[in-house]
Chains A and B, each alone.
Chain A
Amino acid sequence: MGKKILVVDDASFMRLNLKNILEGQDYEVVGEATNGNEAVKLYQETRPDLVTMDITMPEKDGITAMKEILEIDPSALVLIISAMGQEAYIKKAIVAGAKHFIVKPFKKDNVLKVIEKVLEGGR
């Protein structure tokens, strides 16, 4: 049974891109959220094994959403998706509990590798 993944990104292009990559590899995308609020809500509903979280989004940003998810479920595995050059955000996210990060524009192989690593490392 494929691991369940929640994809969070405000750009539909990015969500589609990730979904294609993931579903080609026996992962199940259990939900797609377009902002931080939706992400927290969908996390509670779907309880995925991993969340891919964009940082800059309308309404609620990814780091805040991640913090809220970690409050609900401290063992949540959240992977941050960031644009090049957003070092400060990535650092913030890591300190707040992100398990890893992916830099946009991403390569398929790298995405899968990082996801695998995070899932492996997760309790």
Chain B
Amino acid sequence: MSNLDFEKFQKLFLQEANEQLEIMEKAIMQLEEKGEDREIIDEFFRMAHSLKGSAGSMGYTAIASLTHEMENVLDKLRNTPGILNDDMIDLLFISIDTLKHLRENVEKDLPESVNPEIDHLLQRFQEITSPDGQKKQKAVDKKLYLTSQEFKNLKEKDQEKNVFLLCFELIHQQEMQSMVAFLIFNNLKDEGEIIKTCPPHLEEVEGDLPFFSILICTEKGREEIGKIVEQALDQEEYKIFPWSEIEKGEAGEYCQEVKESFARRDESRDSIRVDIEKVDQLMKLVGELVIDKERLLEISKGIKANSRDNPEAQALLQTIPHVDFIATELHESVMDIRMYPVGSIFKRFPRLVRDISRQTGKEVHLEFSGEDTELDRTILQEVFDPLVHLVRNAIDHGIEQPDQREARGKTARGSVALNAWQEENNIVIEVKDDGAGIDLEKIKARALEKNLVREKQAEEMDRESILELIMEPGFSTSESVNDLSGRGVGMDVVRTNIENLDGEVEITSEAGMGTSIKIVLPLTLAIVQALMVREKGNDYAIPLSAIFETMAVNGKNESDLIKTVKNREVVIWREQVIPLIRLSDFFQMGTSCQEGFLVIGGVKGRMVAIMVEAVLGEQEIVVKSLGDFLGKDKLFGEIPGISGATIKGNGEVALILDIQGMLKSFKKGGDTIERQSISC
């Protein structure tokens, strides 16, 4: 093709592509509005298909591969009605946007970019279209489904090697069952190729997992595989089926061949849209149910003691544990409905990152991990804006210009990672960059300039406190106020937003190496496990997630446990010196008891020992906000150390202690802080 010809073709291509993209965009909007419609899908498909064809012949591979994947999804939609979901719609939207950019690049004679964003898109399409794409699927179903094609492939594989299906039912191990699964998975993966697992992505599952199965292709024999498995568990806890038995249907309980179309339908069946308010209402009701359940359990304790031979009382005693079980299950199910993978907001970032990196002239590679980590949907929505801000900051202030990076011995392209994971009762979302890091001296100087700290204060501050300064209102290090960050919406807004969700922001940074900002959010807002303690006749709840140990203090060991350092009482625990807070002193309720219990707790590595009169036991508590009464500008003013209240089994109110708040107020003012006397 001569140059002239090429130009002619290119012009035609651009023109056509424009029209095709417009039609596709219209189609996707209609699909979103109306739901599935065969005609619209057909037209959409045709447009994607012809764009693919012309892009392919012009040699625009990115456009061609993207439209190819779109075609696959649309084809799937045509063949299996009822599977269109928000994820697909979002993905198609993003794809059209991406195609528009790619087209623009062609028009501007820019080289067709091979950026990671497209790779990510392609991967996501493949996740949707491949049969084992649904990562979130829970192991409700014991069966491993194999499509006819997979069945055929396995049969071939079994000619040369051995295919085994291993089905596990954990009888002895009751705790952290998923770790046994992980152990076995880890041991087996060195012995051959793991083809499929049930639940899918077995190695990522956490928590209870009484049943799971692994399909493996290996050179090893049955006995050898058995020996490896039995290093982790007992013979009666698993079954092993060679391919011949699977083929004969002898493993029918655990493994089934499905026709392609059924397999597809199965993986994405039955989803309905429900108004979030309805779910919230359900959640509220479940909360009330849990309170009543705790009351019932409390009442049943009384019955046990004094009515052994009353048959009705006995029947009640048998029913209550069942109610307890059902209420807990119900709570978990409702929580689960509200859970949403963080990936759903991560996917909005590639576009943003590309835009910012273009505007700033910086090269940025965006990475994700833990997209499947789930978080309450409401929290997730609130987290999006703060995350956008953090990512903007990372690119704007963190990542250096390509030449600067190279001069510092780094790759020209900077990296920003969005990571998510669960840590005990929290979900952590991290924005991490490998940029210049935060200059502590600059921060100090800026804070002094803005009168946020006094000079003497600044000198004494530790690293962590200095970094926290950037979240003070009125602080902004951006030297040039530009389009992106530094528009007045600073880190203080990020912090406020996150704290409104009961979360925290943690900053770590190393000069020259990069910055990591973590948003730590509570997994659930409503119901938590707590340790109930008593002091001066009042009960308090301490979230179990913040507790490490409890110890009895009596006349004998008091002097060993509690020491006085610089006029402050401390506790020596596991070779650490940690501050002691006597609950009575903290809330100014009179003299503290001399004997009782020490609750060793801590948040973010900062430890504290709390002295109380009595430890009552563990309980599931429903967190009720005291928002109208406590807190800044509220009826009683801000009372540090209280995060809310709960209703106990006997109907009385107990206050929930906020260990972090206690630590903060303790650190700030020591004993001089003004606290109001409080009791419930």
Contacts and interface: CB of A to CB of B under 8 A. Distances in A.
A85 B232 CA distance: 19
A58 interface: yes
A84 B206 CA distance: 12
Contact of B183 (A10, A58, A100, A113): A100
Interface in A94-117: 94-95, 99-101, 103, 110, 113, 117
A120 interface: yes
A84 B232 contact: no
B151 interface: no
A87 interface: yes
B175 A84 contact: yes
B183 A117 contact: no
B175 to A, nearest CB: 5
B179 interface: yes
Given A87-B206, A88-B421, A120-B231, A94 B172 contact: no
If over half of A's interface residues share one DSSP class (helix, strand or loop), that class is named, otherwise mixed; here it is helix
Nearest to B205: A87
Interface residues of A, number: 21
A103 B175 contact: yes
A100 B232 contact: yes
B186 A94 contact: yes
Nearest to A106: B175
B604 to A, nearest CB: 15
A87 B183 contact: no
B182 interface: yes
B610 to A, nearest CB: 20
Contact of B230 (A58, A95, A101, A117): A117
A121 B176 CA distance: 21
Chain A CB within 10 Å, residue with most, of B175, B186, B424: B175
A118 B230 CA distance: 9
Contacts of B515: none
Interface in A55-109: 58, 84-85, 87-88, 90-91, 94-95, 99-101, 103
Nearest to B548: A83
Contacts of A113: 172
A87 B179 contact: yes
B574 interface: yes
B481 to A, nearest CB: 41
A88 B575 CA distance: 25
Nearest to A57: B574
Interface in B129-183: 172, 175-176, 178-179, 182-183
B88 to A, nearest CB: 32
A101 B232 CA distance: 9
A120 B228 CA distance: 11
A91 B179 contact: yes
Contacts of B182: 90-91, 94
Chain B interface size band reads: 10 to 19
Contacts of A58: 574-575
A75 to B, nearest CB: 14
B172 A110 contact: yes
Contacts of A120: 230-231
Contacts of B178: 87
Contacts of A16: none
Interface in B56-81: none
Contacts of B230: 117, 120-121
Nearest to B173: A110
Given A84-B175, A117-B232, A11 B424 contact: no
Interface string B418-440: 00010110000000000000000
Contact of A101 (B183, B423, B424, B575): B183
A120 B233 CA distance: 12
B176 A94 contact: no
Interface in B27-54: none
A117 B176 contact: no
Nearest to B175: A103
Contacts of B574: 10-11, 58
Nearest to B576: A58
Nearest to A113: B172
Interface of B: 172, 175-176, 178-179, 182-183, 186, 206, 227, 230-233, 421, 423-424, 574-575
Given A85-B424, A94-B183, A103-B175, 15 more contacts: A10-B575, A11-B574, A58-B574, A84-B176, A87-B176, A87-B179, A87-B206, A90-B176, A91-B179, A94-B179, A94-B182, A94-B186, A110-B172, A118-B231, A121-B231
9 contacts: A58-B574, A58-B575, A84-B176, A85-B424, A87-B176, A103-B175, A113-B172, A117-B230, A121-B230
